[in-house]
Amino acid sequence: MKQNPWTALRAIGEHIRRLRFRLDAVVTRGVVELVNDRLKTQRVQLTILEGEVTPGDVEHMQPYGLSFAPPVGAECIALAPSGSRAHTVAICVQHPEERPKGAQPREGGLYTKGQWRLFIDQDGLVHLGAQKGASPVALASKVDAELQRIWDLLTVTWKPTGSLADASALQLAAVDGVGAVQSTAAQKTRAT
């Protein structure tokens, strides 16, 4: 018996429709509805922007060494490998209303609730608690260079009697205007 060509076309059309649905499901946007941070991998429940609610066990994949529990209402990219929502994972979770603004190119850091908590500026300076100026954090290489600069300045105007490596034994003697050497303890006593 010969098959009706319209039936075959409808079957092909249905197959294409299912394939397109699976392809459309591979990458979509979602909104966080619930967060469970008690498991090995953080789990979230999402509302996919087409209105579909996922089960509460969608894995929230975060970069190694960094973990934050996103607030309800945060947006994400929902990936469904092979188009199967049963294996959906959430990545790139953000809350646009809470993201601080105004960073210049090559600047950024960690933030929560709309405020920078750790900010790195264009010069590589690290600031705690604000974008700039609140609590700059000294980088070890810069501290070492600055300490060496200070030491070099001191050795020109001060006569060291100890070693820089042994700070507890370091005793500096100030040279007064006529070249007499006085201990720093004697200077403090005379100043008081």
Q: What is the pLDDT of residues 48-92, one digit of tens each?
A: 877 777 777 899 999 998 899 999 999 999 998 888 778 889 999
User: Confidence class of residue 138 from pLDDT cuts 50, 70 and 90?
Assistant: low
pLDDT of residue 124: 82
Torsion of CA 39, 41, 42, 44, to 10 degrees: -100
How big, in percent rounded to 5, are the helix, strand and coil portions of the chain?
30, 30, 40
66 and 119 co-located in one domain: no
129 and 60 co-located in one domain: no
pLDDT of residue 107: 92
**Could you give the number of structural domains in the chain?**
3
Helix (H) or strand (E) holding 129: none
Phi-psi region of 92 (alpha: psi -120 to 50; beta: other; left: phi over 0): left
**How does the average pLDDT of the chain come out, rounded?**
77
Give 94's contacts (C-beta < 8 A, 6+ positions apart).
70, 74, 75, 76
9 and 79 co-located in one domain: yes
Q: Has residue 171 got a pLDDT over 60?
A: no
Q: What is the mean pLDDT of residues 151-163?
A: 69
Higher per-residue confidence, 81 vs 38: 38
126 and 186 co-located in one domain: no
Range of the domain at 127: 99-137
Q: Residue 36 corresponds to which tokens in the numbers above?
A: 């469970």
